[in-house]
Protein backbone atom coordinates (compact mmCIF):
# COMPACT_ATOMS: atom_id res chain seq x y z
CA UNK A 1 0.00 0.00 0.00
CA UNK A 2 2.83 2.41 0.78
CA UNK A 3 4.50 1.57 -2.52
CA UNK A 4 1.34 2.38 -4.50
CA UNK A 5 0.97 5.64 -2.57
CA UNK A 6 4.56 6.58 -3.41
CA UNK A 7 3.99 5.68 -7.07
CA UNK A 8 0.86 7.83 -7.09
CA UNK A 9 2.68 10.78 -5.53
CA UNK A 10 5.67 10.45 -7.87
CA UNK A 11 3.42 10.34 -10.94
CA UNK A 12 1.47 13.39 -9.79
CA UNK A 13 4.68 15.27 -8.98
CA UNK A 14 6.01 14.50 -12.46
CA UNK A 15 2.79 15.75 -14.06
CA UNK A 16 2.75 18.93 -11.97
CA UNK A 17 6.38 19.71 -12.77
CA UNK A 18 6.13 18.73 -16.44
CA UNK A 19 6.33 22.30 -17.81
CA UNK A 20 9.58 22.90 -15.92
CA UNK A 21 11.04 19.56 -17.06
CA UNK A 22 10.17 20.33 -20.69
CA UNK A 23 11.80 23.75 -20.59
CA UNK A 24 14.93 22.36 -18.97
CA UNK A 25 15.24 19.46 -21.42
CA UNK A 26 14.62 21.64 -24.49
CA UNK A 27 17.23 24.09 -23.29
CA UNK A 28 20.00 21.86 -22.00
CA UNK A 29 19.14 18.24 -22.77
CA UNK A 30 20.59 15.71 -25.13
CA UNK A 31 18.66 14.87 -28.33
CA UNK A 32 17.15 11.80 -26.64
CA UNK A 33 15.96 13.86 -23.68
CA UNK A 34 14.48 16.47 -25.99
CA UNK A 35 12.55 13.78 -27.88
CA UNK A 36 11.33 12.20 -24.62
CA UNK A 37 10.13 15.56 -23.29
CA UNK A 38 8.30 16.28 -26.56
CA UNK A 39 6.46 12.97 -26.24
CA UNK A 40 5.78 13.52 -22.54
CA UNK A 41 4.57 17.05 -23.24
CA UNK A 42 2.15 15.85 -25.91
CA UNK A 43 0.80 13.00 -23.79
CA UNK A 44 0.74 14.50 -20.30
CA UNK A 45 0.38 18.28 -20.58
CA UNK A 46 -3.45 18.19 -20.76
CA UNK A 47 -3.45 16.18 -17.52
CA UNK A 48 -1.10 18.78 -16.05
CA UNK A 49 -3.56 21.50 -17.05
CA UNK A 50 -6.45 19.59 -15.45
CA UNK A 51 -4.55 19.14 -12.20
CA UNK A 52 -3.50 22.81 -12.10
CA UNK A 53 -7.12 23.86 -12.81
CA UNK A 54 -8.38 21.58 -10.06
CA UNK A 55 -5.88 22.90 -7.53
CA UNK A 56 -6.47 26.55 -8.43
CA UNK A 57 -10.23 26.23 -8.28
CA UNK A 58 -10.12 24.43 -4.93
CA UNK A 59 -7.41 26.38 -3.09
CA UNK A 60 -7.63 29.83 -4.70
CA UNK A 61 -11.29 30.18 -5.66
CA UNK A 62 -12.51 27.99 -2.74
CA UNK A 63 -14.98 26.02 -4.84
CA UNK A 64 -15.02 22.56 -6.35
CA UNK A 65 -14.36 22.18 -10.04
CA UNK A 66 -17.14 20.45 -11.94
CA UNK A 67 -16.46 17.32 -13.94
CA UNK A 68 -17.62 19.07 -17.09
CA UNK A 69 -15.12 21.90 -16.60
CA UNK A 70 -12.31 19.41 -15.96
CA UNK A 71 -13.29 17.44 -19.05
CA UNK A 72 -13.35 20.61 -21.15
CA UNK A 73 -9.87 21.57 -19.91
CA UNK A 74 -8.64 18.09 -20.89
CA UNK A 75 -10.26 18.24 -24.35
CA UNK A 76 -8.98 21.79 -24.85
CA UNK A 77 -5.48 20.68 -23.88
CA UNK A 78 -5.47 17.88 -26.44
CA UNK A 79 -6.94 20.24 -29.05
CA UNK A 80 -4.11 22.67 -28.32
CA UNK A 81 -1.52 19.90 -28.69
CA UNK A 82 -3.13 18.86 -31.97
CA UNK A 83 -2.89 22.45 -33.23
CA UNK A 84 0.75 22.70 -32.17
CA UNK A 85 1.58 19.46 -33.97
CA UNK A 86 -0.39 20.47 -37.06
CA UNK A 87 1.22 23.90 -37.32
CA UNK A 88 4.71 22.43 -36.91
CA UNK A 89 5.63 24.12 -33.62
CA UNK A 90 6.28 20.68 -32.16
CA UNK A 91 7.81 18.26 -34.67
CA UNK A 92 9.18 14.76 -34.15
Dump pLDDT digits (tens) for 24-56. 777 787 888 888 888 888 888 898 889 889 888
Collapsing DSSP states into helix, strand and coil, what is residue 92?
Answer: coil
Which residues 6+ apart lie within 8 Å of 47 measured at CB? Answer: 15, 74, 77
Total-model pTM: 0.72
Per domain, the residue ranges of the chain are 2-87
DSSP letter, residue 58: I
The alpha carbon of 10 is separated from its chain's Cα centroid by a whole number of angstroms, namely 14
Amino acid sequence: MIRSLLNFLAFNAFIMLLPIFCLLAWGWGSPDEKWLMRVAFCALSPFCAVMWYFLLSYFVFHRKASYLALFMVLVGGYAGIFMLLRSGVIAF
